[in-house]
Amino acid sequence: MKLDKISQNLLEKIAKIHEIPNGAVSFRRNGKGEIVRSTPSIEIVRKEDGSGINIFVHSSCKNESCHIPVVVSEEDFFDLVYNDFYIEDGASVTIVAGCGVHSNGSGGHDGIHTFHIGKNAVVNYIENHIAIGNGSHKVLNPTTNITIGENSVMNMETNQLGGVDYSNRITKATLKENATINITEKILTNKFNVAKTDFKVHLIGKNSKCNIVSRSVARDESEQVFKSTIIGKNECFGHVECDGIVLDRAQISSVPRVDAKSNLASLSHEAAIGKIASEQIIKLMTLGLSEKEAENKIIECFLK
Amino acid sequence: MIELNNITYIVEDKGNKKVILDNISIKFEDNCVTAITGQNGSGKSTLTKIIIGIIRPTSGQILYNGTDITNYSIDERVKLGINYAFQQPITFKGLTIKELIDIATKQENSIPKACEYLSRVGICAKDYINRDFDKTLSGGEQKRVELALALAQNGNTVIFDEPEAGIDIWSFDRLNKIFEKNKSYIVVSHQTKFLSSADKIVVMQNGKIVQYDDAKTVLKNLKHTTCKKVEE
Ligand SMILES: Nc1ncnc2c1ncn2[C@@H]1O[C@H](COP(=O)(O)OP(=O)(O)O)[C@@H](O)[C@H]1O
Ligand SMILES: [Mg+2]
């Protein structure tokens, strides 16, 4: 399939690919599933009502990857999609999702992803969000609902590095015995962007573990709200760490919450928000960078 | 040559003026190791920070090879060839040791090349090179990387603020040995072992220089309370 320039550019940014890759793929553009391709281990099936796809990752899947990018390039188009992932016992898979919006007016995408992860599985889930164009109402609202079965691990990485005028990311996870979730979130906002994030993790099973790391940079007049709640109902471990750099007239608020509903739950949170530590800038200046170069380097590496 | 003329540094401390450096004038000789010693709080770190430009003096003048650099920024002084290693290393989130070496050397180094800089200060480089330069490194490890970075910059005047603090004597001996003949080193130190190997010694007390002479001469008269004996 031949891709237009805008789609190519967006795909490059969200999935570091220039063309539709090999292997399991679902490519959705302006609300239409344009390509759906399965492999013996990863079966992708369109939902009959066109609202999204069901992805079945079979036990036979070992270290395969699956790309499911979404592109919105039509002006004033708002896409709503429901994707459901069924990860069978013992599977290990990397899923690269993400959405790119190009609009000179408004445009957006609400992706509701639901993961049903069986036992002894490993899921790497990468979600990159980007918006370009002159529009001032480019909206992305990803919702992720996750159930993780016994002994399974989910590594979730979300990146939203600029251009998105408004986003509201909601992630809910429930973990069974020995299940683990590691979440890394990176956000850069500028101009008048507003980015909201809300994580809620229920540690139900014995020895379940959750580690959330959020790093964000807010520039110009942008605003970020980071909320996280970890609920421990068993012998479990949970930690959330939120580091934010605030520049210009931007604002970040961080609301980490931990609820121990068992005296065996070990939960903690850390939040550090502020301007770039001046001694870090000074250190890089002693290595030869100018003040501006030092600031840019610190931000670039912080979000890398 | 670095020359300080009538450097005074005064801070406001709980409503009172506090003189940290009191009218200091000194010429640091070229191609020579100058040790600065003196009690805690005597102003050694402040003096070195004034040379690199982290602290601006309240009054006075700093010359580098005859050029007045009093108003130069830190990076402008680095470009002239002055390098600096902090007493307390500054850590980062997300910056690796390799990246810092690349910044210090102004080039993208191969892994073996970057490792070379670290092995100079006695750390097993491969284990470190891609680690973040953050608080998960021990104090001694941070300190060694800090020294390696200042050396990697390859300037002609290198300032170390208490390089031995937190690292074992073995690696400190090595540092001492890699000092190059045609460069100048200004080293804040309390160790008699280091002081006796220096060419010149500056002794500070209450923000003033009270002695500045050849190491041998100073050591003869040095009060032992100001420096620590090294346990061999
Ligand atoms: N900004 C400041 N405000 C108040 N006191 C300061 C400030 N900076 C340094 N000092 C004081 O100046 C003195 C010299 O400090 P420093 O140069 O770090 O000493 P040294 O390195 O010799 O131990 C100390 O007493 C220190 O507490
Ligand atoms: Mg000091």
pLDDT tens for A191-217 read 999 999 999 999 999 999 999 999 999
For residue B174, pLDDT over 70 is answered with no
Please tell me the distance from the alpha carbon of residue A75 to that of residue B30, in angstroms, as a whole number. 68
The predicted pLDDT at position B232 comes to: 32
Cβ–Cβ contact A285 with B under 8 A: yes
Cβ–Cβ contact A242 with B under 8 A: no
Which band of pLDDT confidence, cut at 50, 70 and 90, is reported for residue B223?
A: low
The predicted pLDDT at position B171 comes to: 58
Using a CB-CB cut-off of 8 Å, the residues of chain A touching B94 are 215, 301-304
Q: Which residue puts its alpha carbon closest to atom 20 of ligand 1?
A: B41
Closest C-alpha to A240, from A274, A194, A197: A197
Cβ atoms within 10 Å of A200's Cβ, excluding its own: 16
Largest separation between any pair of C-alpha atoms in chain B: 53
The structure tokens listed for B168 are 């074992």
Of residues B79 and B228, the one with the higher pLDDT is B79
B43 touches ligand 1 (CB under 6 Å): yes
Using a CB-CB cut-off of 8 Å, the residues of chain B touching A289 are 75, 103
The predicted pLDDT at position B210 comes to: 96
Please tell me the distance from the alpha carbon of residue A170 to that of residue A180, in angstroms, as a whole number. 19
- The C-alpha of B89 sits at a distance from chain A's nearest C-alpha, in angstroms, of 9
Enter the pTM of the model: 0.83
Which band of pLDDT confidence, cut at 50, 70 and 90, is reported for residue B181?
A: confident
Query: Each residue of A82-130: pLDDT tens digit?
Result: 999 999 999 999 999 989 999 998 999 999 999 999 999 999 999 999 9
Helix (H) or strand (E) holding A53: strand A53-57
Please tell me the distance from the alpha carbon of residue A206 to that of residue A202, in angstroms, as a whole number. 12
Q: What are phi and psi of A142, to 5 degrees?
A: -85, 135
Q: Contact A283/B90, CB-based, under 8 Å? A: yes
For residue B229, pLDDT over 50 is answered with no
The predicted pLDDT at position B173 comes to: 66
B186 is a domain residue: yes
For residue B170, pLDDT over 60 is answered with no
Mean pLDDT of B43-65: 98
B170 is a domain residue: yes
B24 is a domain residue: yes
The structure tokens listed for A116 are 């049903």
Please tell me the distance from the alpha carbon of residue A87 to that of residue B111, in angstroms, as a whole number. 39
Contact A206, A234 (CB under 8 A): yes
Please tell me the distance from the alpha carbon of residue B104 to that of residue B100, in angstroms, as a whole number. 6
Mean pLDDT of A141-154: 98
Percentage above 90 pLDDT, chain A: 87
B231 is a domain residue: no
Structurally, how many domains does chain B consist of? 1
Nearest by CB: B78 against A288, A291, A303: A288
Q: Give the CATH number of the domain where residue B78 resides.
A: 3.40.50.300
Q: Contact B99/A284, CB-based, under 8 Å? A: no
B212 is a domain residue: yes
Query: Each residue of A52-77: pLDDT tens digit?
Result: 999 999 999 999 999 999 999 999 99
Which band of pLDDT confidence, cut at 50, 70 and 90, is reported for residue A17?
A: confident
Reduce the DSSP state of residue A194 to 3 states and report it: strand
Helix (H) or strand (E) holding A6: helix A5-15
**Ligand 1: which of B46, B208, B209 to mutate, judged by most atoms within 8 Å of the beta carbon?**
B46
Complex-level ipTM: 0.93
Is the dihedral angle over the CA atoms B60, B65, B68, B70 positive or is it negative? negative
For residue A40, pLDDT over 90 is answered with yes
Contact A44, A26 (CB under 8 A): yes
Q: Domain range spanning residue B201?
A: 2-225
Query: Each residue of A236-255: pLDDT tens digit?
Result: 999 999 999 999 999 999 99
B145 is a domain residue: yes
Identify the residue whose tokens are 């280091």.
B194
Q: Contact B94/A284, CB-based, under 8 Å? A: no
Residues 6+ apart with CB under 8 A from A124: A93, A94, A95, A154, A155, A157
Mean pLDDT of chain A: 94
B230 is a domain residue: no
Which band of pLDDT confidence, cut at 50, 70 and 90, is reported for residue B230?
A: very low
The predicted pLDDT at position A118 comes to: 98
